[in-house]
A and B are shown apart, each in its own frame.
Chain A
């Protein structure tokens, strides 16, 4: 895993969550800019996923491989799944779904880092 990428994903995710919460409280539905934002966030996550997968195949990875891979798969699938689910909703609750996903994502990233570099 690339550390600065993890940091960037977490920051971008929290910024996205903040933006979507503002939209929720302003009673706005999810619009194209939100979707673009989620797309960019997803690209970052995919980047981290690819880098980590390559490292894993190269034999450099955590001991709990199964756990790590399942977390990684969840992290990669979460943004598009929530973006689609939120975009289908044409009310303020669309951005609310994205905000939730973007608050869960940094926590999952912390979990991934813990698995990758276990503190003994």
Chain B
């Protein structure tokens, strides 16, 4: 990692490079899945399908936030990773306590079990990385 001074520059380098790739794939997977299900079987489980589309949108925003430089992008990435963390934990818990709410599976169902639990780990890795870079930047600024 070079000694760049522009804030946010480092977010997409190093481990962030991998995070952006993973986020992009999940954005595509969740959005495509949700859109397809909404278009073909809206009546069956609209809440689950809308949730998939929403999750896809959050992944997309996070990917863009991580990939772009700047203070605002960093905040966007931070917020979207936080939303995602809350989302996957909430949906996982709801699935356990009240399975009838989401009759069909989403990316976040069962804490992301259908996707190798990556959806559960990903937001926390994202948050960790954003905070790590942020701390480094602040240490450098002082």
- Residues on A close to B: CB < 8 A? 66-67, 70, 74, 78, 82, 85-86, 88-89, 91, 93-94, 96-97, 100-101, 104
User: In the complex, what residues of B have CB within 8 A of residue A70's CB?
Assistant: 32, 36
Q: How far is the CA of A93 from the CA of B25 in the complex (A)?
A: 17
**Interface with A: B11-19, B41-49, B101-109, which one?**
B11-19
CA distance A100 to B22 in the complex (A): 8
- The complex places the Cα of A88 from the Cα of B13 at a distance, in Å, of 9
A93 CB contacts on chain B under 8 angstroms: 13-18
Chain B residues lying within 8 Å of A101, measured Cβ to Cβ, are 21
Within 8 A of A (CB), among B22-43: 22, 25, 28, 32, 36
Q: Are B14 and A91 in contact (CB under 8 A)?
A: yes
Known contacts A85-B17, A91-B1, A91-B14: does B22 contact A66 (CB below 8 Å)?
A: no
The residue in chain B whose Cβ has the minimal distance to the Cβ of A91 is B14
Q: Can you give 11 contacting A-B residue pairs, CB < 8 Å?
A: A66-B36, A67-B36, A70-B32, A74-B28, A74-B32, A86-B17, A88-B17, A91-B1, A93-B13, A93-B14, A93-B18
Q: Are B36 and A104 in contact (CB under 8 A)?
A: no
| Contact B28 A100, beta carbon cutoff 8 Å | no
Contact assessment for A85 and B36 in the assembled complex, using a CB-CB cutoff below 8 Å: no
Q: For residue A91, which residues in chain B have a CB less than 8 angstroms away from its CB?
A: 1, 13-14, 17
Determine if B36 and A82 form an interchain contact, defined as CB atoms under 8 angstroms apart: no
Among A66, A82, A89, A94, residue most surrounded by chain B Cβ atoms (within 10 Å): A89
Closest 10 CB pairs of A and B: A89-B17, A93-B17, A97-B21, A96-B18, A93-B14, A93-B18, A97-B18, A93-B15, A97-B17, A100-B21
CB-defined contacts of A100 to chain B, threshold 8 Å: 18, 21-22, 25
With both chains docked as a complex, state the minimum distance between the C-beta of A51 and any C-beta of chain B, in angstroms.
Answer: 23
